[in-house]
Amino acid sequence: MIPIKDYNPTRRFPMITLVLIAINIGVYFFVQRPFDSTTSQAAFSYQVAAIPCEVVHGRPLTEDEVVRTLEANDATACGARTAGGSSQAVFPHKSVWLAVLYSMFLHGSLLHLGGNMLFLWIFGNNIEDRMGIPGYIGFYLLAGLVASAAHIIVQPNSTVPVIGASGAIAGVMGAYVVLFPNVKIRSLIILLIVPIFRDISAKWWLGFWFVTQFFTNPNDGVAWVAHVGGFLFGALVALFLRDRLRPSRAPALAPAPNPMW
């Protein structure tokens, strides 16, 4: 089920949401450089991205830990010792704390980037409209940090880089379901090979998305705990601030279904 748009107009131009999208796209193409070799991209991730083992122990990964992770496919190689290896840090000058922030703007593939930016655009503009620019920026970044913390708590020995804006965007989605539960989401549903367009209330759409996170295949490399943590954080913040946020204009009514749309 893919969201296409929502029927929820804003009162202000969503400048920060567009800036966040532009930053993510710019980082992916001009900093990560996805067309470089796989080895170069892996090195970049280990040098820049957040890694639970590093955050928990406050130090960069050693050569032994990286070798064990990549060559033995051991995702929990924290503290590993390899015969004839080295306990020296691969990237000794890496800031493991700032890496948590950097990871929020990195992505693993073009599909990963495109999906995240679609969700951010559809749900982020209305949250920005309700929270205002300073509040929205702070909320987005804090949601991403909370999501990362949730993942790290569950997998403290992981030596696999964690990248993506999904945790922060999940926070936006959690706030959306609290503030706009009855807004219709235009959605694309593909049954076998037949595309179907339907308008679904946000509470059902986002509720379905939230539940599916618990059925994610652990071998898919998806940090689903980060999604859950970010979503719950966003929902709780919105519940606490709901009466303090300025109301937005009433959402537009969904048009009659049009199978040719």
Looking at the domain assignment, is residue 48 inside a domain? Answer: yes
Q: Is residue 61 part of a domain?
A: yes
Lowest mean pLDDT: which of 37-46, 99-108, 241-250? Answer: 241-250
The residue-averaged pLDDT of 15-37 equals: 95
pLDDT of residue 87: 83
Residue 1 CA to residue 203 CA, distance in Å, equals 14
Share of the chain above pLDDT 90, in %: 78
160 touches 61 (CB < 8 A):
no
Does residue 70 form part of some domain? yes
Within a domain: 113: yes
- Contact by Cβ (8 Å): 151, 226: yes
> How many structural domains is the chain composed of?
1
For residue 201, the enclosing domain spans: 2-241
pTM of the prediction? 0.90
**C-alpha to C-alpha distance for 21 and 122, rounded to whole angstroms:** 12
pLDDT band of 32, cuts 50, 70, 90: very high
Read off the CATH number of the domain in which 42 is found.
1.20.1540.10
Residues 6+ apart with CB under 8 A from 67: 82, 85
* More confident position, 190 or 138: 138
Query: Exposed, middle or buried, 118 (CB in 10 Å: 0-12/13-18/19+)?
Result: middle
36-40, 91-95, 214-218, range with greatest mean pLDDT: 91-95
- 249 is a domain residue: no
Q: What is the tens place of the pLDDT at every residue in 73-88?
A: 999 999 888 766 678 9
**Mean pLDDT value across residues 125-129:** 97
Residue 257 lies in a domain: no
Task: Specify the pairing of strand 2-6 against strand 184-191.
Answer: antiparallel
Q: How far apart are CA 147 and CA 151, in angstroms?
A: 6
- CB burial readout 25-62, b (16+ within 10 A) else e: eebbeeebeeeeeeeeeeebbbebbbbbbbbbeeebbb
On whether residue 248 sits in a domain, the answer given is: no
131 within some domain: yes
Lookup: tokens for 180: 């706009």
H helices of the chain, in order, are 15-26, 38-48, 52-57, 63-71, 98-103, 110-154, 166-179, 202-212, 224-241
Q: What pLDDT was estimated at residue 86?
A: 75
